[in-house]
Amino acid sequence: MTLTNLADLPLLYGYALITYMAVAGVLWILHRLGRDDLLLPVAAMNYVLLLTISQYIASKIGAFIGPLVIPMGVFTYSASVAMLDFLTLRFGRRVGYWVVRVAAYLQALIFIVNWLVINYPPAPFWESLQGAFASIMGVSARVAIASITAFLVSETYDVFLVSRIGGGVLRRVGYSDPVAMTIDTLVFIPIAFYGVVPNIWLLMASQLIVKVSLVPMTMLAVWINRRALQYGYVASRA
C-alpha cells in the first residue's frame, strides 16, 4: 500500500480499527455469554496470534505519509498490547509475565520450524515453487530475533507498568502503552533493519508516531471490556 496524501489514511487506520475490534469483540461476547472461564485462554490465543502475524508482515516496509515509512506489522503488534493489558488487568501481573514468556517461546519455535521446513530438500516438482514458498513462509532471522527480543523487553515492562500505576483502566493503559511502545521501537528497529534501511532514524520516528497514534484504539479495546475486567479504582492484584 502506498500512501501519497491524507485522504488515504482512513484505509490504513480502518485496517487497524478492524483488527482491534475483532479481538476485543471476542472477549466482549464471551463475557456477555457468561463464559468468563474462556477469557484467559482466548485472550492469550489472540495475543499470540497477533504477535505471529506481526512477525511475518514486519519484514515489509510500507509507505506512510511523505518520507515516513513503517513496518507493516505495527498495527497487529499494537493490537496485541491491548490483549496483554486486558490479561494483566483481569488476571494480575504474574499471569501477564507468564503470557509474555510463553509467547516468546512460541515465536522462537515458529521461527525454528519455518527455518527447518524452508531448508529441507524439496521434491523435484516443487523446486520451481521453492522461492515463492520461502517468500511466503520465510521470516528473516534478523526480523524474527528483533521481534522476539523487542516484545519480550517492552511487554514485560508494559505488564509491570499497567499493574503498578494507580487509577482507572484508561489511565493505566494511557500511561503504560506509549512507554512500552517506545521501548519496542528502540529495540526492534535497530536489530531488524540497521544497515538495510537507508534512514533508520526516520523509520524509528515513523513507527513511533504510528504506535502512539494507535494508543486511543488500545484504550478503546480495553474500555469495551471494562465489565469483564471486574476492575475498580483500586490497586491491581500482584
Percent of the chain with pLDDT over 70: 84
Q: For residue 229, what pLDDT band results from cuts at 50, 70 and 90?
A: confident
Instruction: Provide the number of structural domains found in the chain.
Output: 1
Q: Residue 21 pLDDT more than 80?
A: yes
Query: What's 74's domain CATH number?
Result: 1.10.1760
Instruction: Return the amino acid letter for 126.
Output: W
Q: Residue 232 pLDDT more than 90?
A: no
Domain assignment of residue 90, given as a range: 7-109+137-229
Query: What are the tens digits of pLDDT across the range 200-214?
Result: 888 888 888 888 889
> Cell numbers at residue 79, please?
493490537
Do the domain assignments include residue 117? no
Q: For residue 128, what pLDDT band results from cuts at 50, 70 and 90?
A: low
Q: Which residues contact 37 (CB under 8 A, 6 or more apart)?
A: none
Do the domain assignments include residue 164? yes
Do the domain assignments include residue 205? yes
Do the domain assignments include residue 123? no
Do the domain assignments include residue 45? yes
Distance of CA 80 to the CA centre of its chain: 4
Q: Residue 68 pLDDT more than 80?
A: no
Note the pLDDT of residue 49. Answer: 92
Do the domain assignments include residue 236? no
The dihedral formed by the CA atoms of 4, 9, 12 and 14, expressed in degrees to the nearest 10: -160
- Beta strand segments in 122-232, E: none
Q: Residue 129 pLDDT more than 60?
A: no
More confident residue, 67 or 182: 182
Do the domain assignments include residue 159? yes
d(C-alpha 206, C-alpha 127), whole Å? 39
List the single range of 22-31, 99-108, 135-144, 217-226 with lowest mean pLDDT.
135-144
Do the domain assignments include residue 153? yes
Q: For residue 238, what pLDDT band results from cuts at 50, 70 and 90?
A: very low
pTM more than 0.85: no
